[in-house]
Structure 1
Amino acid sequence: MGYCMQVTETLNEGLKRGYAITVTAAELDSKVVEKLVEAQPDIEMKGFRKGKVPMPLLRKQYGQRLLGEAMQESIDGAMSSHFESSGDRPAMQPEVKMTNDDWKEGEDVKVEMSYEALPTIPELDLSVVTVEKLVAKADDASVEEALANLAETAQDFKDRDAGAKAEDGDQVTFDFVGKVDGEAFDGGSAEDYPLVLGSGSFIPGFEEQLVGVSTGDEKTVEVSFPEEYGAPNLAGKAATFECTIKAVKEPVAAEINDELAKKFGAEDLAALKTQITERLEAEYTGAARAVMKRSLLDSLDGLVSFDLPPSLVDAEAKQIAHQLYHEENPDDHGHDHGDITPTDEHMSLAVRRVRLGLLLAELGQQAKVEVSDAEMTQAIMNQARQYPGQERQFFDFVRQNQQMQQQLRAPIFEDKVIDFIVEQAKVTEKEVSKDDLQKAVEALEDEA
């Protein structure tokens, strides 16, 4: 059915657009009739056979309700045909309001629609874009440093000299019998128990009392169980532990050899070194990509300029101001801190983000970049790991939440568009040291 609506442009400044739409009374009426005719065969009413209810009665019964539907559909139809014919894409949901408030049945409906159009983005020749890609190799020193750190986490213990006193961090092996009110209690005794002093694995106050013991010593440790101790029969009770010290050992870093490699699941030391090299280089590649992405966005930002929808820039600036407020006030978890007025700095960052966002969206559309279901699932799973035990609920939450899906989809889309741009651009590789790469990454964080 053709729309015989009048759509008149009332505003066209920059990207702001306004239209007056008139839906005639005749058109509304024909739409209502059309709906009644469509429904008639299925309607039953007392005194009439199914499908034989006369039109005037139907109109009386259902007319009012169908009029509302007809209005909504006519206005929606007018809007969508406007966007189709004009080629405009609204930056945000258009604002629509009825202007004749005192409207009565039988009158034309007058509606005002206003929106900001997304700008037309100029063609960009990506072959003129230049990109520098930093490449850092994992040098021997970095691999050795990582190995030494692993050896430290895998520390061994060796016997101290005879008569040496146990120090904090030492491993003491001992037998003990724990008693409350002079009676040994269940689970309070063990033989040859290895305890690292200062590890906090025994009840508070216990480990400190073993500092200074030597092999062969007998020592009575006196402690009280904490009030909130798990076993109610022991909570808050004073206890004594009779301890017999069997060995005192000091910590030593594990030796860097094939044994150490096996502890970390590698076949031998050479294989462990290869693993470490690969892990470090994967880290460097990730860091180098972040640096490349920033410099690529900087050069794109300088290559094109076009009008930006003010509402998008405002929304983005508010978002930035809000985020920074919470970063600076981590204790304020509520969102009832009133409006936060974005600063000029927030505004200029918002301008950059909106400009690049629109440009990347346009390039992505031209390149037919899609985020696949598998990529989305992967992204949701990565996020869900932050909620151990509640992954299922997180999955369901994301599935029902459009905004959350958009937040997860956006960075994947952006990365794929960046890959597309890099494929077309002139890329030069520059070998740098790990430290230079680190400095480049820190410079990014300062600007962020």
Structure 2
Amino acid sequence: MQVIETLAQGLKRELKVVIPAKDMEARMNERLAEVKDRVKINGFRPGKVPVAHLKKVYGKSIMADLVNEIVRDKPTEILSGRGEKSATQPEIAMTEDEAEADKILNAQADLEFTVAYEIIPAIELKDVSGIKVTREVVEIAEDEVNEQILKIAESARSYESKKGKAANGDRVTIDYLGKVDGVAFDGGKDEDAELVLGSNRFIPGFEEQLVGLKAGDEKVITVTFPAEYPAANLAGKEATFDITVKDVAGAQDIEINDELATKLGLESADKLKEIVRGQIESQYGNLTRQKVKRQILDQLDELYQFETPERLVEAEFENIWRQINTDLQQAGKTFADEETTEEEARAEYRKLAERRVRLGLVLSEIGEKAGVQVSDDELQRSLFEQLRQFPGQEKQILDYFKNTPGAAASLRAPLFEEKVVDHLLGEISVTDKTVSKEELTADDEETEGKAAKKAPAKKKAAAKAEATEGEEAAAPKKKAPAKKKAADDSAE
């Protein structure tokens, strides 16, 4: 086998691989010898089929298998021998001329193919002890814990029927019938529906018109369905609702005590406070880590500047660009609305794609040198978390990870990255700073990373997901239950 380098430009490489016809024929003969005793051909006893006849019957198919195996396996072997790593799957090209291909399969011509790829650049790791980050920490006040408990306890709040007019915060029990142009519509009717006024569960304008009504009152209210309402036959339409108020109940005060904890499935108020405090700490902890991580990535970005593989950058850019356009479309906006142009946005997000790829390579090298590993148990837990987020779609998700090449890597990458960040936190200077929750949650553009500072549409994936964070830009939107009542549906 002969390997000739035909291109070495920057990170781009192209190799010409030549395997002489006589070597291919020798390999074919070895395969024929292996199958000689197993093959059955009419007129010949097992093991007595002449090699020439075997070659005539099976030669071309065996040679085709050999070619496929060589083209599949040799590039990896060749790159390993050269001490190179391909940034993406190498591109293999060989003759498409049928006559030439036939000669190769008949061992009458050398097998030639080219391997085109981009190498992952050699990265010389630098001292990170000079990296300094500030870790913002929020001290959680007792009042904040109690406030969160009261929000959670709304589901356990008691109501007591009262005389007089309904006010915001009261629970009304009503029958209603919705009509458009005087005709009742599907899903627009309910009986004994309970609604807390001010909860904004129903479409805009509905609840406000119930304020001031008493038990036994009847009223026809008029509302307009939102233009983006899921049911196309109701979107943007004016509707009337015949309302009958059957009960008005006032909300009872909530006290944080053992009784409340029991209603919420816990043994004591202390345990309830402990759990809620832990939840708040976790939320703030995630924000703290994101900010620390951005600081680390920004400083690594200054430390490391090198050429990045174009194909990786292009793939990353396409992912970002697809998300940006989806966000704009969903918001009903254009680049002009974001005070930029498509050309300027492309340039900015391409820079961000380059930064992501470069930092991804740096973190990968740091992790590899530090011996960072992601265990099978950690991958399994990550997969279970995916399944938990999408109930009812478990089979589809499992099939996807089982049958999609590289899917498991999408689980491993963010886990690996977070473990590398953990490793770096032990190597760099970290200073804790106590801040208020307002300071921690402030939308500080500076923390979004230098590459994203000037990016349009600041809500976008590129601005939020620094470098290679592996997180989605926006939380998935809730899907309303299919059989939810029409008046209730829009606010779910």
What TM-score bracket applies, with the shorter chain setting the length? 0.7 to 0.9
Measured in 2, the distance between the counterparts of 1:78 and 1:255 equals 72
Measured in 1, the distance between the counterparts of 2:297 and 2:51 equals 64
- The residue that corresponds to 1:146 in the other structure is 148
CA RMSD of aligned residues (A): 3.6
Paired letter, 1:432: V
* Distance 1:99-1:157 versus aligned 2 partners, 3 A rule: closer
Measured in 2, the distance between the counterparts of 1:386 and 1:377 equals 14
Question: TM (normalized to structure 2)?
Answer: 0.70
Paired letter, 1:42: R
Q: How does 1:279-428 map to 2 (within 5 A)?
A: 279-330=279-330, 343-428=346-431
Measured in 2, the distance between the counterparts of 1:305 and 1:242 equals 70
Task: Tell me, yes or no, if structure 1 residue 118 matches structure 2 residue 123.
Answer: no
* Distance 1:427-1:57 versus aligned 2 partners, 3 A rule: same
How many residues end up aligned between the 2 structures? 395
SS of corresponding position for 1:56:
helix
Q: Is the 8 A contact 1:135 1:432 kept in 2?
A: yes
Question: TM (normalized to structure 1)?
Answer: 0.77
Measured in 1, the distance between the counterparts of 2:193 and 2:73 equals 78
Paired letter, 1:364: G
- The residue that corresponds to 1:434 in the other structure is 437
Q: Is the 8 A contact 1:120 1:306 kept in 2?
A: no
Q: Is the 8 A contact 1:157 1:251 kept in 2?
A: yes
Deviations 1:48-93 (A, max 9, x none): 2101111111111111112222333444554333212211111111
State the shift of 1:442 in Å. 7.2
Task: Tell me, yes or no, if structure 1 residue 135 matches structure 2 residue 137.
Answer: yes
Deviations 1:206-233 (A, max 9, x none): xx8997446xx7x8999xxxxxxxxxxx
* Distance 1:77-1:273 versus aligned 2 partners, 3 A rule: closer
Task: Tell me, yes or no, if structure 1 residue 67 matches structure 2 residue 67.
Answer: no
* Distance 1:267-1:400 versus aligned 2 partners, 3 A rule: same
Deviations 1:342-369 (A, max 9, x none): 7111110011000011111122222232
Q: Is the 8 A contact 1:121 1:362 kept in 2?
A: yes
Deviations 1:126-168 (A, max 9, x none): 33333322221102332243244345554333454x6x34557
State the shift of 1:112 in Å. 2.0
Q: Is the 8 A contact 1:291 1:440 kept in 2?
A: no
- The residue that corresponds to 1:187 in the other structure is none
Paired letter, 1:157: Y
* Distance 1:310-1:249 versus aligned 2 partners, 3 A rule: closer
* Distance 1:252-1:440 versus aligned 2 partners, 3 A rule: same
Paired letter, 1:389: G
Gaps of 5+ in 1: 177-189, 223-239, 333-339
Task: Tell me, yes or no, if structure 1 residue 19 matches structure 2 residue 9.
Answer: no
SS of corresponding position for 1:424:
coil
- The residue that corresponds to 1:38 in the other structure is 34
Task: Tell me, yes or no, if structure 1 residue 79 matches structure 2 residue 75.
Answer: yes
- The residue that corresponds to 2:259 in the other structure is 259
State the shift of 1:392 in Å. 3.5
* Distance 1:108-1:393 versus aligned 2 partners, 3 A rule: closer
Paired letter, 1:124: K
Q: Is the 8 A contact 1:287 1:441 kept in 2?
A: no
Q: Is the 8 A contact 1:197 1:211 kept in 2?
A: no
Measured in 2, the distance between the counterparts of 1:84 and 1:153 equals 62
* Distance 1:270-1:386 versus aligned 2 partners, 3 A rule: closer
Gaps of 5+ in 2: 176-190, 221-241, 333-341, 449-457, 465-492
Paired letter, 1:375: E
* Distance 1:54-1:351 versus aligned 2 partners, 3 A rule: same
Measured in 2, the distance between the counterparts of 1:241 and 1:96 equals 71
- The residue that corresponds to 1:335 in the other structure is none
SS of corresponding position for 1:402:
coil
State the shift of 1:428 in Å. 2.0
- The residue that corresponds to 1:235 in the other structure is none
Deviations 1:12-68 (A, max 9, x none): 111111112221111111111111111111122222210111111111111111222
- The residue that corresponds to 1:107 in the other structure is 109
Measured in 2, the distance between the counterparts of 1:357 and 1:285 equals 23
| Structure 1, 379-388 or 307-316: larger mean CA deviation | 379-388
Q: Is the 8 A contact 2:12 2:119 kept in 1?
A: yes
* Distance 1:423-1:166 versus aligned 2 partners, 3 A rule: closer
Deviations 1:154-185 (A, max 9, x none): 4333454x6x34557545689x9xxxxxxxxx
